Amino acid sequence: MTYVIAQPCVEVKDKACIDECPVDCIYEGPRMLYIHPDECVDCGACEPVCPVEAIFYEDDLPEQWSAFGAANAEVFETVGSPGGASGADPLGRDHPVVEGAPVLSA
């Protein structure tokens, strides 16, 4: 299991989670951030610092955002495992679920 970033992150990308992640597994896409499921060590350091409460343990992902679990994994199918976000380019595009997601109002 891993942590997942869901819809509240769309068009927000606060990046406090990136600063807290000890293994550098949070990557930036055009509209939101993604946690690489093979690089995440399930420490949970990212979850409490997210100002929009967009990060969930995979088993605790709310039903209305369940598609974001697969989206976080599938977005890495083409890029593989770069071994850390800081040495990688931002993702060229978002997962289709994210591309079509509305921005949540505050």
Q: Answer whether residue 1 shows pLDDT above 80.
A: no
Mean pLDDT of 33-58: 97
Contacts 24+ apart (CB under 8 A), 66-74: 67/97, 68/4, 68/5, 68/6, 68/7, 68/97, 68/98, 69/4, 70/97, 71/34, 71/95, 71/96, 71/97, 71/98, 72/2, 72/4, 72/5, 72/34, 72/35, 72/37, 73/37
Residue 78 pLDDT class (50, 70, 90 cuts)? confident
User: With contact defined as beta carbons under 8 Å apart, do 85 and 38 qualify?
Assistant: no
46: confidence class by pLDDT, cuts 50, 70, 90: very high
- Domain 3-99 class in CATH: alpha beta
pTM: 0.93
